[in-house]
Structure 1
Amino acid sequence: MMRYNIKPDYHIKAKRGYLAAFYIELFLALQAGMVLWHFSSNETWRNVLAITGGAICLCLAGVSYWKYCKLVQNSEKETH
């Protein structure tokens, strides 16, 4: 009978949360880009709002992805 040395991952919920936040924020940034692409004749304040919202979403997506990668690296260090 084979035995497996499976170690528990205590950060699985945090990893899922950060990855879900990354995808949602990336989607929202793409939506802001679509607003600019399809409605380039919008009023200036709408374009500024779309650019600002897209930039904020990209920054938050970067932070979420960085935290996710940090948790993955920490869990790999603990298992090896």
Structure 2
Amino acid sequence: MVMHIMYGGASEAQKSSSYRVKFRRDQFLELVRIAQPQRIYKVKNVHFFAFDGFVMYCQGCTDDELGVRVIEAIEFSNNAWTKLNK
């Protein structure tokens, strides 16, 4: 499954798989510094972005310390897409 987030993130979606990698706060901040994402998505207290073929995420960061645009989303899931209103 590919995570699809279509706010200018189509290129990130094409590069990501359904594999998610969880990081501690300090690790995630270092990864953000290395990866230099243009945007990071957030659902509740989970920040995530696609990098190196994976969805990288952390539950311990604040928007302010990331240093990039944070876009609120409503769901973070690795379930396959299904057609709605069958």
Larger radius of gyration: 1
TM-score (norm 1): 0.23
RCO (CA 8 Å, sep 6+): is it higher in 1 or 2? 1
Greater fraction helix: 1
TM-score (norm 2): 0.22
